[in-house]
Amino acid sequence: MKKVALLIALLAVVLNTSGKGNTEEIILKSSIVCEMCKETIEKGLAYTSGIKVVRVDVEKNEIYIKYNSSKITLEKIKDEINEMGYVAGDQKPTRKEYEGLHHCCKKEGVFDD
Amino acid sequence: MYKKLSGTLFCSLLAMGSYCQTVSGTVTDGDENAPIPGVNIYWEAQQKGTTTETDGTYSLPVEVELPKNLIFSFVGFQTDTVRVQSPGVVNVVLQSSVELNQVEVSERVNAFNMSTMAERNTEEINRNILQKAACCNLSESFETSASVDVVLNDAVSGTRKIQMLGLEGVYVQNLFEGIPFTRGLSNVLGFDQIPGPWLNTIQLTKGVGSVQNGYESLTGQINLEFIPPGKEERIYVDLFANSQERYEANAIWTKPLSDRWSTVLFLNGTTQRKRVDRNEDGFLDMPIREGFHVMNRWKYFGDYFRSQIVLRYVEEERTGGQTKFDFGEDFGSSNAYGIGIDATQMEVLAKMGILSKKRDDRSLGLTASLNKTEIQSYFGNRIYAGEQISARFNSLLSTKFSEYSDHSATLGFHYLYDEYRESFVDSTFGRVENVPGVFAEYTYKRPRFTAIGGLRWDAHNLFGNQFSPRVHLKYNLKPLTTLRATVGRGFRTPNAFADQLGFLASSRQVSVIHSPNAEASWNTGASLLHKFELWNRDVVFTSDYYFTFFENQLVVDRDTDPRRLLFYNLEGESFAHSFQAELQAELTQKLGLKVAYKYQDVQVDYLSGRLRKPIVPKHRLLFNLGYSWAKDKWIADFTANYYGRSRLPQTSSNPEPFQLPGRSRDYFIFNAQINRVLGNFEIYAGVENIGNFIQPDAIVDPENPFGTNFDASLVYGPLNGRVFYAGVRMDLVRNK
């Protein structure tokens, strides 16, 4: 009986951890303005190793990411989003990265000057 | 992740003069003349690239060997491909792309012609490719595509039909920029009625089409895009002549009339007057032919309203048969055998698109067309005449579920009216088709995965309720590796005579045993597209497999009795397996290679049992080499086609001298062409069928065309022999 319980517990742990490493989820506030931004971010991260799900909510200005923390770090994800010209939570893009955006995608207040 | 490569930064780091060549310039919007920031710019088949700055400017180092294609793409605009010859300034104007009812070919469409992003398995044949092979009408534009084979219907009329996935062209839906055309009686002329130089792009899609275009695509779709109007007034002239005294002249005049209005006028004249009988069987190898084609299109392009109207007129006259045949003297007698086909066609096509001002994902589209086709023909003493009036209306409403949703849907209402009046020898028949229908298509689109599900319900007055469900799936394993799958049903009304009019060139007695039912089939298939680099060269590999099986088919039987041509509804099975694998590679910067193999297994249950469909080869190979030098001023192209053996209809009950072998010969066809560009002019010359292969004994009993054994409809190969040709193209821009 104990063995079975142990086995079930083990199975539960194995099943809950999808694949090797830990799955983490995060919602990052960003600087999304329009459909183009959603497409750019989702496509830009679609093939990044370690990222399982990317969903941009334009109305809430949020990026939802589900990733494998042993394959990619949160820092790296934020860097990638910045490179596309968008804010990633607490991390802002550099001026140069931001300037690369289409004019409709530039959000006021990202750079205050 | 698209990494932005800062051109100037990279070059300043290296500080190596000649290596640090760059291409730079500005990208602007064709409608507003404003710069476009954020445009993706990358060298063909490479992932690295750059994007334009806020002022629309860009700078990209040349780390590749020139000349090479540079691609400019941005959401909402038509992708532009520029062939860059040398470093320097390349300014680009992008045109916005809101086209309705078209197969979406976005991003990464390059000279390799297969998009990794399009939802369906689409092969694109653009003007560069069309001009590498002998023009002249659309039937001749598929020479470098392994997906489409063009075959003669018979040995006397010169009319051709295409074959795709092992099945006849009538199962492929032809579209004029999304609007169905060239159907019904128009199939008699088929693609011969469309001059190649009028075309800008051909999109070949395998598998059932979208429910939005109608129910008649059973095995695929061929969408034709004609030369569009541009910002400048231009005249294109294309002249062609060959060693059999066939002459073609084309003129296309594009003219912008205002900011929003533009027009294009297309003209074509075709003539073949020389009587040629190379194989000396007493019959003309190709008919004497004259054709006149004219088309005029008017386009209005507003902010929220776009519309287009096209008027088209076709007139063709052909006379073939024995070399001694003279219509005035011999028609109606048995002195000499002749055939003639006179075709006239008038058509109006119109489309209108209304965009929502508040939501750019919402649009309403309307298309309508009206067509009148008349065919007058005779084969020996048998006369066939047909007249068709056709009217079609289609309306579509497209929207996303919410402004930023991954889900979208299109709903539509469709109506088709067809009136046929035909007569053959002393029988007349006709029918009226009244088909209202509704359809709905749902699309789920994510960066790597797209699923499209469509449902159609058509209430056919003759064949009852017809449902055509269709599913298309696309998955990007990697940015440049795409898997696609499709399944769906389609149906069409067969036309015993018009679908294969050339079969009347024989003494076979025609028996339509059953009143034809609608032909309906299910098609399913999967394809893989993979682009990669091998030894620093771009390579594209594609492979696909399709299976079609018919719920019902109007079986055309030339086997059960070699003296009869039987038509009956399928009792049993009829199916086709088609497998194709293709490799395209850039061997060197200037040398391109394409190799393709196709396997086809098509079988039908005839009255006499299950047999391979005749005249469909099991194996087919294509080999093509293209070489350009002196910065694309010279282009040479060589194609070798291999057609494997195919089954010939049974003739074992004929008297011995008129028996054909059970299988055809296999054969090669070699074509070569050379082009020279001189500013606005381009001259080209070439040879078709270099090996001079002519199908032996193409006509059964040519000495007695009025006897019972005569049959000129068992054609599997060329009748033309070696032909030399040359032509001139001019592209003249009118400067203000």
Give me the mean pLDDT over the A40-58 stretch.
93
Q: Number of residue pairs across A and B with CB atoms under 8 Å?
A: 55
- Flag if B4 and A44 touch (Cβ within 8 Å): no
CA distance, residue B477 to nearest chain A CA (Å): 9
> How confident is the model at residue A109, as a pLDDT?
73
Q: Tens digits of per-residue pLDDT, A52-87?
A: 999 999 999 999 999 999 999 999 999 999 999 999
Give me the mean pLDDT over the B422-437 stretch.
96
> How confident is the model at residue B210, as a pLDDT?
94
Q: Compare CB distances from A99 to B53, B75, B447 and report the shortest one's residue.
A: B53
Q: Compare CB distances from A39 to B51, B75, B479 and report the shortest one's residue.
A: B75
**Residue whose structure tokens are 């142990």:** A6
pLDDT > 50? residue B288:
yes
Integer CA distances (angstroms), B467 to B114, B177, B180, B411, B571, in order? 31, 25, 19, 15, 21
Integer CA distances (angstroms), A11 to A15, A24, B356, B440, B631, in order? 6, 20, 53, 44, 65
In chain A, DSSP finds a helix count (H) and a strand count (E) of: 4, 3
Q: Could you tell me which residues of chain A have a Cβ less than 8 Å from any Cβ in chain B?
A: 35-36, 38-39, 42-48, 54, 56-59, 80, 83-84, 97, 99-103, 105
Contact list, A105 vs chain B (CB under 8 Å): 38
pLDDT band at B720 (very low <50, low <70, confident <90, very high): confident
pLDDT > 60? residue B1:
no
Q: Order the strands of the B40-43 sheet from edge to edge.
A: B49-51, B40-43, B68-73, B80-84
Give me the mean pLDDT over the B203-231 stretch.
93
pLDDT > 50? residue B106:
no
pLDDT band at B54 (very low <50, low <70, confident <90, very high): low
Q: Tens digits of per-residue pLDDT, B297-337?
A: 999 998 899 999 999 999 999 999 999 999 999 998 999 99
- Flag if A102 and B36 touch (Cβ within 8 Å): yes
Q: Compare CB distances from B1 to A48, A97, A101 and report the shortest one's residue.
A: A48
pLDDT > 80? residue B64:
no
CA distance, residue B305 to nearest chain A CA (Å): 22
pLDDT band at B133 (very low <50, low <70, confident <90, very high): confident
Considering only residues B442 and B11, tell me which one the structure prediction assigns the higher pLDDT: B442
Mean pLDDT of chain B: 89
Whether residue B51 lies within 8 A of chain A, CB to CB, comes out as yes
pLDDT band at B138 (very low <50, low <70, confident <90, very high): confident
- Flag if B54 and A45 touch (Cβ within 8 Å): no
Closest CA to B413 of B353, B379, B346, B364: B364
Q: What is the pTM of this model?
A: 0.84
Contact list, A39 vs chain B (CB under 8 Å): 75, 447
- Flag if A47 and B448 touch (Cβ within 8 Å): yes
pLDDT > 60? residue B99:
no
Whether residue B330 lies within 8 A of chain A, CB to CB, comes out as no
Which chain A residue shows the shortest CA-CA distance from B400?
A35
Q: Could you report how far apart the first and last alpha carbons of chain A are, in Å?
A: 69
pLDDT band at B5 (very low <50, low <70, confident <90, very high): very low
CA distance, residue A37 to nearest chain B CA (Å): 10
Contact list, B40 vs chain A (CB under 8 Å): none
Q: Tens digits of per-residue pLDDT, B657-695?
A: 999 999 999 999 999 999 999 988 999 999 999 999 999
- Flag if B38 and A105 touch (Cβ within 8 Å): yes
Q: Could you report how far apart the first and last alpha carbons of chain B are, in Å?
A: 45
> How confident is the model at residue A105, as a pLDDT?
78
- Least confident window among B1-5, B493-497, B720-724: B1-5
Burial class (CB in 10 A: 0-12, 13-18, 19+), B89: exposed
Number of C-beta neighbours around residue B672 at 10 A? 17
Integer CA distances (angstroms), B536 to B82, B239, B542, B626, in order? 21, 40, 19, 19
Chain B residues 54-73 within an 8 A CB cutoff of chain A: 54
pLDDT > 60? residue A19:
no
- Residue B552 near residue B518, CB atoms below 8 Å: yes
Contact list, B446 vs chain A (CB under 8 Å): 42, 46
- Least confident window among B483-487, B566-570, B593-597, B675-679: B675-679
Cα–Cα distance for residue pair B723/B91, rounded to 1 Å: 42
pLDDT > 80? residue B79:
no
Q: Which H or E element spans position B330?
A: helix B327-330
- Flag if B448 and A38 touch (Cβ within 8 Å): no
pLDDT > 60? residue B97:
no
Q: Compare CB distances from A102 to B38, B404, B447 and report the shortest one's residue.
A: B38
> How confident is the model at residue B112, as a pLDDT?
55
Q: Compare CB distances from A35 to B51, B74, B404 and report the shortest one's residue.
A: B404
pLDDT band at A16 (very low <50, low <70, confident <90, very high): low
Considering only residues B478 and B93, tell me which one the structure prediction assigns the higher pLDDT: B478
- Flag if B447 and A58 touch (Cβ within 8 Å): no
DSSP letters for B344-407: EEEEEEEEEEEE-SS-TT-EEEEEEEEEEEEEEEEETTEEEEEEEEEEEEEEEEEEESSTT-SE
Structure ipTM over 0.90, yes or no: no
User: What value, to the nearest 5°, has the Cα angle with vertex B18 and ends B12 and B23?
Assistant: 70
Give me the mean pLDDT over the B601-618 stretch.
96
pLDDT > 80? residue B75:
no
Q: Which H or E element spans position B604?
A: strand B591-606
> How confident is the model at residue B684, as a pLDDT?
95
Whether residue B36 lies within 8 A of chain A, CB to CB, comes out as yes
- Flag if B2 and A44 touch (Cβ within 8 Å): yes
